[in-house]
Amino acid sequence: MSGQTSGASVLAIQGGRPVRAEPFPSRNTIDDEEKRAVARVLDSGVLSRFLGTWHSDFRGGDEVRALEEEWAARFGARHAVAVNSNTSGLYCAMGAIGIEPGDEVIVTPYSMSASAVAPLIYGGVPVFADVEPEFFCLDPASVESRIGPRTKAILVVDLFGQPYDAEAINALARRHGLTVVEDAAQAPGATLNGVPAGRLGDLGIYSLNYHKHIHCGEGGVVVTDDDDLADRVRLIRNHAESVVEGMGHRNLTNMVGFNFRMTEMEAAVARCQLRKLDGLLERRLENVAILEESLRDYPPLRPAGQRPGARHVYYAHGLLFDPAVAGVSRDRFIAAVRAELPVFAGRETEGVTLGCGYVRPLYLLPLFQDRVAIGGRGDPFPGDRRYDRGLCPTCEHLHETALVLHEFMIPSMTRADLADVVSAFEKVWEHRHLLREH
C-alpha cells in the first residue's frame, strides 16, 4: 500500500518498506466499445476478407478498408494501408522504395531492432548514424557524414514520441536524391510545426502493438501520398507475385509478396482505439507536466529536451541523469527507486517500468557484430563494413550513463499514483548516501 513517507530511514533495496507495494492501475484502454465491435465482426462470420489474387477482395474486408479510410483522414494522408505490425510495414516500405542488394540505408542505433534490420530483408545494408543528445532521434550532422554513393534511403524514428528533425534531414534527402521512411510507431498524434508525425517523410509507419498509445494487440498502418508507393505496399502486404499480372503492375522489383494482412477483428478494435487517441494523449501530457514539475527539485535529474515546434506524445518519458551531482551512479540510484515502486496491474511480468537507458545500441547485436544475416556467409554485409563499439558515441553515452526512461505518465495514472512515484525519487534522493560505494 502507499503511504510510506519519504523520511523512512531504510531504502527498500536495502530491506526497508517500499513507498508503495500495491500495483499501479491497469493500463488497459479496452472497454465496451471494442467488445461490441468485435462481437459485430464475430456475428458476421467474416474474420478476414483478403484474397491473394487480383480481385475485389485483394484489399481486404469492410473493417480493414474502413480503418484505412479513417486513418488516412485522421492524419491527412492520401493513402493508408493496414498491415499486421509496424515491422511488417517497415518491410513493405523498404520493398516499395526499391531497396536492392548492396543499397545502403541510414538507420538509428537506438530503437526497436526492426527499425534497423528492415533493409536486410531486401539485401540492403544498414548504416548507423548517431543520435541527438537531447532529443534522441537521428542527428542530421551524423546522417550527413554517413551518406555515400550507395545510400538510397534514410529510415528515421520518432523516438519515444518525439518527431525527428524533418527540416534538416529532409533537406539532406532532397540534396542527395534519397527517400525518407519514417518509423512513427511511438508517435501517433505527435506533430512538428503542425505536420503529423508519420507524414513528415515519404512514407510513415505506425504501430498498433499492445504497448503503444492505441492498439489492437498487433497491427500497423503505412501512410503515403504517393500512389505508386501505396500500390507497392499493398502488393507486398498480400502475395504480390500472384497479383501483379492481373493488376497490370509492370515494375517487378521486390514484387515477391508476404502475408502481412490485418484481420477484421483487429481492424474493428483499431477503429475504436483511433477515436480515443486525442483523449489518451491529453492525459499523457497532463501526467508528464505533473511529473516534470514535481521532479524539478532533484538536481541530478532533468527532463530531456523537446524539439522546438514539436508536440511530443511520450510513448515513454525520458530524463537525463548527472552522476556527478548525485554522487552515485545512475544505475545504483535508479535500482533503488525501482525497489520503492510496484508493477502495473496486468503487466506484472514486465517488472517496474523504470529503467536505465533504452535498448543496447543495435550495432552491438550479434547480427551486426558477426555480420551474418541472410544465409550464413556474411551476406549482405560488404567485407569492409564494421560495427565496432564507439561507432555512435552519443548513443552509447545515453544508454550506459545518462538516460533514464519510464512509463509512469500513462493515462491510467492518477495524481495520487504520480505522488507515489515522486515520493520514491524523494526518498532515494534524501538517502543517496546509503548507496555510495566505500
**Residues with a known catalytic role:** 212
CA angle 261, 43, 279 (to 5 degrees): 65
Question: How far is it between the farthest Cα atoms of the chain?
Answer: 75
Chain-centre distance of CA 2, in angstroms? 32
Q: What residues are paired with 406 via a beta bridge? A: 317, 354
CA-based radius of gyration for the chain = 23
Is 59 within 8 Å of 262 (Cβ atoms)?
no
What are the residues facing 355 on neighbouring strands? 405
Residues 6+ apart with CB under 8 A from 23: 342, 343, 344, 345, 348
For 351, the grid coordinates are 517488472
Where do we find the cell 514486465?
Answer: 350
**349: Cβ contacts below 8 Å, ≥ 6 apart:** none
Q: Which of 407, 414, 15 is nearest to 211 (CA)?
A: 407
Q: How far apart, in whole angstroms, are the C-alpha atoms of residue 217 and residue 309? A: 32
Helix (H) or strand (E) holding 57: none
Closest Cα partner for 381 from 101, 150, 181, 114? 101
Element spanning 317, H or E = strand 317-321
Task: Return d(Cα 409, Cα 418) in angstroms, integer.
Answer: 8
